[in-house]
């Protein structure tokens, strides 16, 4: 039988405590986000072991992709562009059109997004048909997706979103122009940027000439507007006849001529 817990350590405890403080979270707030009790969270910060099924909640609360290895003191705090350029999903189109940071954020964010999709899909696969990510104890994606349509985010939706991300990676690999023809494709690219945000903004570039200002605006230059934010992330109520209503997300509506 596989190990069911991750061995605690003073180093890991320190990482958890420092990250919580960095996010200005109280123990109670962090515990609530992670779906655990305050006493349990306090034990994590004291160096006790962590059950593997609780790791997703901890990472979600702390905006981590994975628990850090507290004993690894050689972790670089710079973005090594040369390493990202070796990846098959490095987009020469994004690099040439919007810069290296845009291409790097796509590599980082699309990988993380696919991982999080897999996690949520696996959780939903063991639940009754029609279950949505709001019913998962610690969904990776619930806080990132537009809140109006939460109950529509079932296994089928995640599968379609997963396919959209994979298709974008194929376009990146081919070096072709990346164009969002549907709301689903716009949403996929937006989520890619959001998933890359923590890593991009917590590290320094290895090239002093790279400009970090407004690094995340490349997607809106690609869309040629900010309608995705206006309609889906601005507390508006989107009606059924609106282009950005959930029922129209998979329709080809943009740049179709």
Neighbours of 71 (CB within 10 A): 9
Place of tokens 């991009």: 200
Convert the pLDDT of each residue in 179-211 to its tens digit. 999 999 999 999 999 988 877 876 665 555 566
- The whole-number pLDDT of residue 88 equals 95
Most confident of 7-16, 35-44, 59-68, 238-247: 238-247
Cα(214)–Cα(216) distance, integer angstroms: 5
- The whole-number pLDDT of residue 218 equals 96
Distance from CA of residue 58 to its chain's centroid? 15
- The whole-number pLDDT of residue 55 equals 86
- The whole-number pLDDT of residue 73 equals 36
> Which structural domains are found in the chain, ordered by start?
5-62 (1.10.260.40), 78-248 (no CATH)
- The whole-number pLDDT of residue 226 equals 96
For 117, residues 6+ apart whose C-beta sits below 8 A from its C-beta are 140, 141, 158, 161, 162, 165
118 within 8 A of 155, measured Cβ to Cβ: no
Convert the pLDDT of each residue in 121-167 to its tens digit. 988 999 999 999 999 877 879 989 999 999 999 999 999 999 999 99
Cα(5)–Cα(7) distance, integer angstroms: 6
- The whole-number pLDDT of residue 75 equals 42
Angle between helices 183-202 and 155-174 (to 10 degrees): 70
Structure tokens at 82: 């040369």
């Amino acid at each position: 039988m596989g190990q069911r817990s991750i061995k605690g350590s003073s180093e890991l405890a320190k990482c958890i405590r420092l990250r919580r403080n960095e996010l200005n979270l109280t123990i109670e707030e962090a515990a609530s986000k992670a779906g655990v009790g305050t006493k349990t969270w306090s034990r994590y910060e004291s160096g006790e072991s962590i059950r593997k099924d609780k790791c997703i909640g901890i990472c979600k609360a702390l905006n981590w992709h994975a628990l850090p290895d507290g004993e690894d003191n050689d972790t670089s705090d710079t973005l090594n562009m040369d390493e990202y350029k070796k990846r098959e999903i490095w987009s020469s189109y994004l690099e040439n059109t919007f810069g290296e940071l845009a291409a790097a954020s796509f590599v980082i964010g699309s990988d993380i997004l696919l991982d999080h999709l897999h996690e949520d899909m696996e959780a939903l696969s063991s639940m009754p048909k029609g279950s949505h990510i709001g019913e998962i104890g610690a969904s990776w994606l619930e806080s990132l997706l537009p809140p109006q349509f939460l109950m529509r985010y079932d296994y089928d939706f995640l599968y379609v979103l997963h396919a959209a991300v994979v298709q974008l990676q194929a376009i990146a690999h081919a070096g072709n122009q990346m164009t969002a023809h549907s709301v689903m494709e716009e949403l996929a690219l937006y989520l890619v940027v959001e998933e890359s945000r923590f890593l991009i903004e917590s590290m320094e570039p290895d090239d002093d000439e790279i400009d970090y200002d407004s690094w995340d605006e490349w997607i809106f230059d690609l869309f040629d507007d900010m309608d995705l934010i206006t309609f889906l992330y601005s507390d508006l109520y989107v009606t059924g006849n609106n282009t950005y209503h959930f029922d129209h997300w998979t329709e080809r509506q943009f740049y179709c001529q």
